[in-house]
């Protein structure tokens, strides 16, 4: 309700200060999906709230609009790729709400035009997530409704247009509206409940993906583990400015970290008692080159192995310390210590910087081989909380030579009590690998005696017909059956994403839920025949027994610290009067006191 009023207020404010919206009749409500236009400009009467990203840029109105309108906005004087028109979102868009932006764009000659966001996080670092690119041949091209949200605790949020040379960019029919809100299906079985006798069921989210309330609801209903999609990776939490200032005072071996970009998701996990998989400490990818270089400079020389060992130790130490300090109550039950160190042929990656070639490894460049793996686990063991399990994580883990390399490494680390488990990413396709070759790798890893976690499961399909999705469902069922078969060795199965449209492989529909949050055939296939356990009234945590923790959960709900899923609410409503209140607490206490 509150939000509606804000939007309505904003809408009238913008109607006064912008041109007539592109949608005639000032449609505040989208036709049938509950969306609301909060800003629109067709540039018939000026550039409205747009400015140039650089003082060299000029914005003018030209007489050649898109979609038959008479005028559009043109940005000229662009000297750099990133120059272009921008609009400030602060005060217009609320953090945590999902919006869409659409526009028509044209470049003066053949060009790729990109629409991006910019924001500054709490630590003062600026981020530039790209939203969409389209190609203009000197003609008008539509940027269809692209989803975005502004993260919490950020300032200077902009949407801007850029293109890969200095061509003029024209923009018309620019619209920002709230994204459709979908209800999740409450009447289907919860995945985490269905699989609770076997293992945790997790998902991965990025800050942007978590923004819609529907995603939060979906996660609370189906998952009991969250992996941060990007926000705990070195490139997200390394604080370059803090590293540089410490280096200036003489210490260039103590990389500083900042959890700003992880906060949205970690706050959600903290507030909802959601266990977290930490991902990832040591990786060749999404780790800036400067981390491995003299003076923390991309153009510096590679540091020595000794310096890098110190940087590695301090980085790992600082990550655990920051999480312990800021999120002492979040259960980070597992960490991927090293990710993707072995190639399919069982050898280490080629040495080299990520900037030049994202497949090469800065770690191998400094260490000469994969000998960085063992110290990474040593330091993780030294600084991780005692109950946090430590994993080696990789993809194509079913390629025979890779399986062998991982197995051998894991056994050596196990011997030294440095590793707790192997993470199988499991980015699969309906055509490859076969369920039996996947199961073979699973069996091999289980035979180490270590824990196994499926850490990033998604299964792509290019056949989007009914038959195609049925085939996808069959493969999903095969993989999940294999996991159940080895469930004594598996503590979590994590899907890499929530709804198909938000997947990193969105064009191949790899997940269990459609864009509108409805369950796909794959969902029904993997819960079929898996009987969810029956819970007794009062077992609010749904762990099979009534304990003090159930009381605490109800207490937290009553003081509005947490929300309860529909099922937990029913288990907490002991007197069945449709509310959860002090009377239910008293009944729960009585049960506990027998
Ligand atoms: C790998 C990484 C993940 C993620 C995916 C792609 O599997 O481990 O962190 O980056 O690629 O989204």
Query: Model confidence over 310-323: pLDDT tens digits?
Result: 999 999 999 999 99
Residue 146 backbone dihedrals phi, psi, to 5 degrees: -105, 130
DSSP assignment of 239-301 equals -HHHHHHHHHTT--S---B--GGGHHHHHHHHHTT--EEEEEEEESSSS-GGGGBGGG-TTSP
The number of the ligand 1 atom at minimal distance from the alpha carbon of 395 is 7
The answer, yes or no, to whether the previous bond of 80 is cis (omega within 30 of 0) is: no
- On the question of pLDDT at 13 being above 60, the answer is no
Banded pLDDT at 31 (limits 50, 70, 90): very low
The mean per-residue pLDDT over the stretch 300-311 comes to 98
Check: CB of residue 28 under 8 Å from CB of residue 11. Answer: yes
Ligand 1 pocket residues where CB is under 6 Å: 279, 339, 395, 425, 427, 456, 504
Q: Which residue has a Cα nearest atom 12 of ligand 1?
A: 504
Top pLDDT among 449 and 10 is at: 449
For a mutational test of ligand 1's pocket, the pick from 283, 425, 454, 508, i.e. the residue with the most ligand atoms closer than 8 A to its C-beta, is 425
Strand partners, 392: 338, 422
Distance 226 CA to ligand 1 centre (A): 14
- On the question of pLDDT at 436 being above 80, the answer is yes
Q: What pLDDT is stored for residue 294 in this prediction?
A: 97
Q: Which residue has a Cα nearest atom 6 of ligand 1?
A: 504
Each residue's pLDDT tens digit, 363-403: 999 999 999 999 999 999 999 999 999 999 999 999 999 99
- On the question of pLDDT at 305 being above 50, the answer is yes
- On the question of pLDDT at 4 being above 70, the answer is no
Distance 6 CA to ligand 1 centre (A): 37
Banded pLDDT at 341 (limits 50, 70, 90): very high
Q: What pLDDT is stored for residue 594 in this prediction?
A: 81
Q: Which residue has a Cα nearest atom 4 of ligand 1?
A: 229
Q: What pLDDT is stored for residue 448 in this prediction?
A: 98
> How far is it, in rounded angstroms, from Cα 220 to Cα 564?
8
- On the question of pLDDT at 38 being above 90, the answer is yes
> How far is it, in rounded angstroms, from Cα 210 to Cα 214?
9
Residue 39 backbone dihedrals phi, psi, to 5 degrees: -160, 135
Check: CB of residue 568 under 8 Å from CB of residue 542. Answer: yes
The 8-class DSSP code of residue 562 comes to S
The number of the ligand 1 atom at minimal distance from the alpha carbon of 230 is 9
**Active-site annotation, residues:** 340, 456
CB atoms within 10 A of CB 484: 17
Residues 6+ apart with CB under 8 A from 260: 121, 122, 123, 125, 153
The candidate with the shortest Cα–Cα distance to 41, out of 71, 68, 63, 64, is: 71
Q: Are strands 389-394 and 421-424 parallel, antiparallel or unpaired?
A: parallel
The mean per-residue pLDDT over the stretch 268-276 comes to 96
Q: What pLDDT is stored for residue 568 in this prediction?
A: 82
The mean per-residue pLDDT over the stretch 330-359 comes to 97
> How far is it, in rounded angstroms, from Cα 383 to Cα 567?
37
The number of the ligand 1 atom at minimal distance from the alpha carbon of 393 is 8
Highest average pLDDT, of 143-157, 213-227, 555-569, comes from 213-227
> How far is it, in rounded angstroms, from Cα 459 to Cα 447?
25
Q: Which residues of 405-443 are buried (b: 16+ CB within 10 A; e: fewer)?
A: bbbebbeebbeeebbbbbbbbbbbbbeebebeebbbbbe
Q: What pLDDT is stored for residue 22 in this prediction?
A: 29
Residue % of the chain over a pLDDT of 70: 94
The 8-class DSSP code of residue 502 comes to G
- Write down the pTM of the prediction: 0.80
Distance 122 CA to ligand 1 centre (A): 25
The candidate with the shortest Cα–Cα distance to 315, out of 404, 365, 405, 253, is: 253
For a mutational test of ligand 1's pocket, the pick from 396, 402, 495, 496, i.e. the residue with the most ligand atoms closer than 8 A to its C-beta, is 496
Q: What pLDDT is stored for residue 532 in this prediction?
A: 62
Q: What pLDDT is stored for residue 33 in this prediction?
A: 59
Residue % of the chain over a pLDDT of 90: 80
Each residue's pLDDT tens digit, 524-540: 999 998 866 677 899 98
Distance 335 CA to ligand 1 centre (A): 14
Distance 427 CA to ligand 1 centre (A): 9
SS3 158: strand
Strand partners, 238: 257
Banded pLDDT at 96 (limits 50, 70, 90): confident
Q: What pLDDT is stored for residue 164 in this prediction?
A: 87
The mean per-residue pLDDT over the stretch 66-74 comes to 91
Helix, strand, coil percent content, the chain, rounded in steps of 5: 35, 25, 40
Each residue's pLDDT tens digit, 103-123: 999 998 899 999 999 999 877
Question: Considering only 20-29, 82-91, 178-187, 218-227, which range has the smallest mean pLDDT?
Answer: 20-29
Distance 111 CA to ligand 1 centre (A): 30
CB atoms within 10 A of CB 248: 11
Each residue's pLDDT tens digit, 460-509: 999 999 999 999 999 999 999 999 999 999 999 999 999 999 999 999 99
The mean per-residue pLDDT over the stretch 216-225 comes to 96
- On the question of pLDDT at 423 being above 80, the answer is yes
- In whole numbers, what is the pLDDT of the chain averaged over residues? 91
> How far is it, in rounded angstroms, from Cα 320 to Cα 314?
10
CB atoms within 10 A of CB 316: 26
The number of the ligand 1 atom at minimal distance from the alpha carbon of 339 is 8
Q: What pLDDT is stored for residue 3 in this prediction?
A: 25
- On the question of pLDDT at 214 being above 50, the answer is yes
Q: What pLDDT is stored for residue 25 in this prediction?
A: 24
How many Å separate Cα 266 from the centre of its chain? Answer: 12
- Token reading at 401: 């030579």
Q: What pLDDT is stored for residue 128 in this prediction?
A: 93
Each residue's pLDDT tens digit, 407-422: 999 999 999 999 999 9
Q: Which residue has a Cα nearest atom 3 of ligand 1?
A: 229
The candidate with the shortest Cα–Cα distance to 196, out of 553, 545, 578, 577, is: 545
The C-alpha angle 445, 451, 456, rounded to 5 degrees, equals 80
């Amino acid at each position: 309700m509150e939000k509606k009023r804000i939007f309505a207020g904003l809408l009238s404010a913008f109607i006064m200060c912008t041109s007539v919206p592109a949608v005639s009749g000032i449609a505040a409500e989208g036709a049938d999906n509950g969306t609301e236009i909060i800003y629109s400009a067709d540039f018939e009467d000026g550039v409205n709230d747009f400015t140039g990203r650089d003082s060299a840029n000029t914005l003018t109105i030209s007489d050649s609009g898109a979609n038959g309108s008479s005028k559009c906005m043109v940005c000229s004087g662009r000297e750099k790729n990133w120059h272009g028109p921008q609009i400030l979102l602060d005060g217009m868009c609320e953090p945590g709400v999902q919006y869409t932006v659409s526009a028509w764009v044209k470049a003066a000659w053949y060009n790729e035009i990109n629409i991006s966001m910019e924001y500054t996080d709490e630590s003062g670092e600026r981020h530039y997530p790209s939203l969409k690119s389209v190609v203009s041949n000197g003609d008008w091209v539509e940027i269809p409704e692209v989803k975005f949200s502004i993260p919490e605790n950020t300032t200077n949020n902009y949407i801007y247009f850029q293109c890969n040379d200095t061509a003029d960019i024209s923009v018309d029919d620019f619209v920002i509206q709230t994204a459709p809100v979908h209800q999740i299906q409450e009447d289907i079985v919860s995945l985490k409940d269905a699989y609770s006798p076997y293992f945790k069921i997790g998902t991965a989210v990025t800050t942007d993906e978590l923004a819609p309330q529907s995603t939060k609801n979906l996660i609370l209903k189906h998952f009991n583990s969250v992996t941060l999609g990007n926000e705990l990776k070195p490139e997200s939490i390394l604080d370059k400015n803090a590293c540089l200032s410490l280096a200036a005072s003489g210490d260039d071996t103590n990389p500083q970290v900042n959890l700003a970009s992880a906060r949205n998701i970690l706050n959600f996990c903290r507030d909802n008692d959601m266990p977290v998989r930490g991902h990832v400490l040591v990786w060749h990818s999404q780790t800036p080159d400067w981390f491995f270089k003299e003076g923390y400079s991309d153009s510096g020389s590679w540091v020595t192995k000794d310096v890098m060992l110190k940087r590695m130790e301090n980085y790992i130490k600082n990550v655990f310390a920051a999480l312990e300090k800021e999120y002492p109550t979040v259960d980070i039950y597992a960490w991927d210590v090293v990710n993707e160190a072995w190639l399919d042929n069982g050898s280490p990656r080629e040495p080299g910087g990520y900037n030049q070639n994202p497949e090469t490894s800065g770690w191998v460049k400094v260490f000469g081989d994969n000998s960085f793996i063992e110290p990474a686990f040593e330091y993780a063991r030294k600084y991780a909380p005692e109950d946090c399990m430590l994993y080696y994580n990789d993809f194509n883990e079913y390629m025979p030579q890779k399986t062998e390399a991982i197995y051998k490494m894991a056994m050596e680390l196990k011997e030294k009590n440095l590793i707790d488990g192997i993470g199988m990413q499991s980015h699969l396709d309906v055509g490859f690998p076969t369920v039996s070759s996947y199961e073979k790798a699973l069996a091999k890893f289980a035979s180490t005696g270590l824990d196994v976690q499926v850490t990033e499961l998604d299964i792509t399909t290019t056949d989007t017909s009914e038959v195609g999705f049925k085939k996808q469902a069959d493969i999903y069922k095969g993989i999940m059956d294999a996991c159940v078969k080895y469930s004594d060795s598996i503590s979590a199965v994590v899907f890499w994403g929530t709804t198909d449209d938000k997947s990193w492989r969105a064009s191949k529909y790899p997940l269990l839920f459609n864009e509108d949050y409805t369950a796909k055939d794959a969902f029904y296939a993997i819960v079929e025949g898996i009987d969810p356990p029956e819970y007794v009234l009062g077992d609010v945590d749904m762990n099979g027994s009534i304990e003090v923790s159930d009381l605490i959960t109800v207490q937290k709900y009553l003081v509005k610290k947490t929300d309860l899923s529909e099922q937990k609410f029913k288990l907490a409503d002991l007197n069945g009067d449709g509310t959860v209140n002090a009377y239910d607490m008293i009944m729960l206490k009585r049960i506990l006191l027998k």
